[in-house]
Amino acid sequence: MKKLYLLGLATALACSPALAADQATAGSSKDAFITDLLGRMTLDEKIGQLRLISIGPEMTHEQIAKEIAAGHIGGTFNSVTRPENRPMQDAAMNSRLKIPMFFAYDVIHGHRTIFPIGLGLASSWDMDAIGLSARTAAREAAADSLDMTFGPMVDISRDPRWGRSSEGFGEDTYLVSRIAKVMVQGYQGKDVSAPDSIMAAVKHFALYGGVEGGRDYNTVDMSPNRMYQDYLPPYRAALDAGAGGVMVALNSINGVPATSNTWLMQDLLRRDWGFKGLTVSDHGAILELVKHGVARDGREAAKLAIHAGIDLSMNDMVYGAELPGLVKSGEVPEAEIDNAVREVLSAKYDMGLFADPYRRLGKAAEDPADTNAESRLHREESRSVARRSMVLLKNAGNTLPLKKAGTIAVIGPLADAPIDMMGSWSAAGQPTQSVTLLRGIREAVGNQAQVVYAKGANVTNDRNSVAFLNRIIFDRTEVEIDPRPAQEMIDEALKAAANADVIVAAVGESRGMSHESASRTTLEIPPPQRALLTALRATGKPLVLVLMNGRPLSLVRENEEADAMLETWFSGTEGGHAIADLLFGDYNPSGKLPVTFPRSVGQVPMYYSHLTIGRPFTPGKAGNYTSQYFDEDTSPLFPFGYGLSYTTFDVSDVRLSADRIKRGDTLKASVTVRNSGKRDGETVVQLYLHDVTASMARPIKELKNFQKVFLKAGERKEVTFTLSEDDLKFYNIKLEYAAEPGDFDVQIGLDSQDVKQARFELL
Nearest CB to ligand BGC, comparing residues 168 and 639: 168
Contact between 106 and ligand BGC by CB under 6 A: the answer reads yes
Contact between 51 and ligand BGC by CB under 6 A: the answer reads no
Smallest distance from ligand BGC to CB 150, Å: 4
Which residue has its beta carbon closest to ligand BGC? 150
Nearest CB to ligand BGC, comparing residues 282 and 581: 282
Smallest distance from ligand BGC to CB 568, Å: 24
Contact residues for 668 (Cβ-Cβ < 8 A; gap 6+): 656, 657, 720, 721, 722, 723
Choosing from 155, 230, 282, 691, the catalytic residue is 282
Nearest CB to ligand BGC, comparing residues 258 and 748: 258
Structural contact between residues 741 and 693, judged by C-beta atoms closer than 8 angstroms: no
**Contact track, ligand BGC, 668-687, x by CB under 6 A:** --------------------
Q: Single out the residue of 203, 236, 378, 708 in contact with ligand BGC (rule: CB under 6 A).
A: 203
Show the DSSP H helices in 16-126 as ranges: 17-20, 23-40, 43-49, 61-69, 82-93, 118-123
Sign of CA dihedral 26, 29, 35, 38: negative
Tell me the sheet residues that pair with 755: 749
Nearest to 349 by CA among 42, 4, 73: 4
**Contact track, ligand BGC, 647-666, x by CB under 6 A:** --------------------
Strand pairing class (649-651; 543-548)? unpaired
Structural contact between residues 230 and 238, judged by C-beta atoms closer than 8 angstroms: no
Structural contact between residues 355 and 11, judged by C-beta atoms closer than 8 angstroms: yes
Cα 20 to Cα 15: distance, rounded to the nearest angstrom: 6
Q: Known catalytic residue: 282?
A: yes
Contact between 288 and ligand BGC by CB under 6 A: the answer reads no
Reported as type and span, the H/E element at residue 129 is helix 127-143
Smallest distance from ligand BGC to CB 674, Å: 44
Contact between 150 and ligand BGC by CB under 6 A: the answer reads yes
Strand pairing class (256-257; 450-454)? unpaired
Nearest CB to ligand BGC, comparing residues 203 and 442: 203
Smallest distance from ligand BGC to CB 301, Å: 17
Smallest distance from ligand BGC to CB 104, Å: 8
Considering only residues 516 to 545 of the shown chain, the ones binding ligand BGC according to CB under 6 A are 516
Structural contact between residues 101 and 365, judged by C-beta atoms closer than 8 angstroms: no
What strands lie across the sheet with 660-661, from one edge to the other? 660-661, 755-762, 742-749, 681-691, 702-711
**Could you tell me the CA-to-CA distances from 531 to 104, 460, 464, 568 in Å, in that order?**
44, 11, 20, 21
Cα 581 to Cα 564: distance, rounded to the nearest angstrom: 15
Smallest distance from ligand BGC to CB 151, Å: 8
Smallest distance from ligand BGC to CB 149, Å: 9
Residue count at the site for ligand BGC (CB under 6 A)? 6
Structural contact between residues 708 and 125, judged by C-beta atoms closer than 8 angstroms: yes
Contact between 283 and ligand BGC by CB under 6 A: the answer reads yes
Q: Single out the residue of 126, 140, 155, 282 in contact with ligand BGC (rule: CB under 6 A).
A: 282
Nearest CB to ligand BGC, comparing residues 259 and 628: 259
Contact between 147 and ligand BGC by CB under 6 A: the answer reads no
Contact between 316 and ligand BGC by CB under 6 A: the answer reads no
Nearest CB to ligand BGC, comparing residues 279 and 603: 279
Given the rule CB under 6 A, which residues bind ligand BGC?
A: 106, 150, 203, 282-283, 516
So which residues are the catalytic ones? 282
